[in-house]
Amino acid sequence: MLLFQMYVKKEDVRDVVNIKRNVRAILFLSMSAVLGVMSFIVSPQLMELYADFAVNPPALTLFFLTVLPVVAVILLLVGLFIMFSKPDYSKVENRAKKYKPGEMIKVSELLDNKFEWKSISLMILLLVAVVVLFYSMINPIYSLTSQM
């Protein structure tokens, strides 16, 4: 990630922790927003479309339309928890102790690589969510309209 290629002064190591926390919170909140829009705006219109065609929706679509609001609320709560929780500066400050005041420190030396893997896995989860939404909502619409 771009964050790990940066350099910061020893005095600014707390900002790195705050940026890391904010990026993670924004990812969770944006995923929650997308799922919320899908469940509260797109889903009702999709169900009306099935009702207009007098066709029962596929079981997979019904399942995901039921689960979607729950997942959106969980992601919202996790994002808000991350955003408003107090960050832990102890690890970063302990690693920064060996540097002189005003010295530039590479961010990758301050942070664990776990954060990068967590961000990558979160993006993979987002990709999986998009694929699932495609197959549970958009693909059935295409099959509905192609039968006409």
pLDDT score recorded for residue 1:
44
pLDDT of 32 strictly over 50 = yes
Secondary structure string (H, E, C) spanning the chain: CHHHHCEEEHHHHHHHHHHHHHHHHHHHHHHHHHHHHHHHHHHHHHHHHHHHCCCCCCHHHHHHHHHHHHHHHHHHHHHHHHHHCCCCCHHHHHHHCCCCCCCEEEHHHHCCCHHHHHHHHHHHHHHHHHHHHHHHHHHHHHHHHHCC
Task: Please state the pTM of the whole predicted model.
Answer: 0.76
pLDDT score recorded for residue 5:
67
Mean pLDDT across the chain: 81
pLDDT of 81 strictly over 90 = yes
